[in-house]
Amino acid sequence: MEILSPQLQSYLDKHTDAESPLLAHINRETHLKVSMPRMLSGHFQGRLLSMFSHLTRPRRILEIGTYTGYATLCLAEGLPDDGLIHTIDINEELMERVRGYFAQSAFNDKIVQHTGNALDIIPTLADRFDLVFIDADKRNNENYYDLVINLLNPGGLILVDNVLWSGKVVEENNDKDTLAILKFNEKIANDPRTAKLIVPVRDGLFAIRKL
């Protein structure tokens, strides 16, 4: 199931700020050279992440799931001069490519890369965060959320990607990823510590504000 038709998505792209040349390059390279390019946030969602970052003006951002660094750079656009983004990914093979992209950006000095299992790395981080983006293995969304909610400053924002899972959340589907997403979505819907909203962009983006 596609939430938006290709024609409507094209219309949205045309009426949204353009990608930077570097982001357009990462987009092309990811689709040409990296497996599972659908995992890329892409133009429209990237602009949405940038907008959230500019609106919240976070001093510290945590990203769980770097992939090829597209979303990292979009989120970094809203950082103040003293801001930092910590980004975690378990895929060591992509790290050299991603470091090269970051080095070409204006945000290289604001990005702290971590390679390994996020469940092990998050408890070692000394920072508290204003914005968290979770876009990694879906079966661990609950575990990531439980780790980061206590590291999030009051008023901080958690964004979780792929919460509509190509529409499978409203279909008769028993695969483990879908069941994990359904369980996570119910958990968030019933969490009194937060205000929350699912934004039906691409594969669904859960925006969760800590009260």
Domains of the chain and any CATH numbers: 6-210 (3.40.50.150)
What number is the average pLDDT over the span 42-58?
A: 97
**Number of alpha carbons in the 13 Å side-chain half-sphere of residue 168:** 15
Amino acid residing at 61: I
23 alpha carbon, distance to own chain's centre? 15
pLDDT recorded at residue 109: 98
Alpha-carbon gap, residue 79 to 76, rounded angstroms: 5
CA distance 54 to 38: 25
- C-beta of residue 61 within 8 angstroms of C-beta of residue 54: no
Share of the chain above pLDDT 90, in %: 92
Q: What pLDDT is attached to residue 1?
A: 63
Nearest Cα to 78, choosing from 51, 42, 46? 51
Q: Which residue shows structure tokens 């950082």?
A: 79
Tokens 């990462």 locate to 26
Confidence of residue 3 (pLDDT cuts 50, 70, 90): confident
Per-residue model confidence (pLDDT) at position 4: 81
pTM higher than 0.95, yes or no?
A: yes
* 65-93 confidence digits (pLDDT tens): 999 999 999 999 999 999 999 999 999 99
Q: How many helices (H) and strands (E) does the chain have?
A: 8, 7
Mean pLDDT, range 132-144, rounded to an integer = 97
Q: How far apart are CA 208 and CA 155, in angstroms?
A: 10
Using CA atoms, how far apart are residues 139 and 142, in angstroms rounded to an integer? 7
To the nearest whole number, what is the mean pLDDT of the chain? 96
Q: Distance (Å, rounded) from C-alpha 166 to C-alpha 203?
A: 6
pLDDT tens per residue, range 102-115: 999 999 999 999 99
